[in-house]
Amino acid sequence: MRIGLIGPTLSRNGQSTKELRRALEFLLVDLEVQQAIYFGVDDSIDAVVGSWAGEIMGGPADEDAFLTRAATLAVDGTPEAISTLLNADTFSRRLALVRRLPPAPARAIEMLDKWIVLGVHDKAVLDEEDIANADVIVYGKSDAPHLKRFGPRAFFTPGPLSAGNVGLLELMPEGQLEVSVYDLSGTPVWSETLQSRAAKLVVTT
Q: Which DSSP symbol is given to 11?
A: -
Determine the topology of domain 1-41+101-205 in CATH: Purple Acid Phosphatase; chain A, domain 2 (3.60.21)
| 26-65 per-position pLDDT tens digit | 999 899 999 999 999 888 898 888 888 777 756 555 666 5
- The stretches in the chain having pLDDT less than 70 are 10-15, 57-75, 77, 81-92, 197-205
**Can you tell me the distance from the alpha carbon of 83 to that of 130, in angstroms, rounded to the nearest whole number?**
47
Beta strands in the chain (DSSP E): 2-6, 35-38, 98-100, 108-112, 115-120, 136-139, 146-150, 153-157, 165-171, 177-183, 188-194
3-state helix, strand, coil in the chain (%, to 5): 35, 30, 35
Q: Which DSSP symbol is given to 29?
A: I
What is this structure's pTM?
A: 0.80
- Contact yes or no for 34/1 (Cβ under 8 A): yes
Residue 162, SS3 per DSSP: helix
Q: What torsion, rounded to 10 degrees, do the Cα atoms 53, 58, 61, 64 define? A: -170
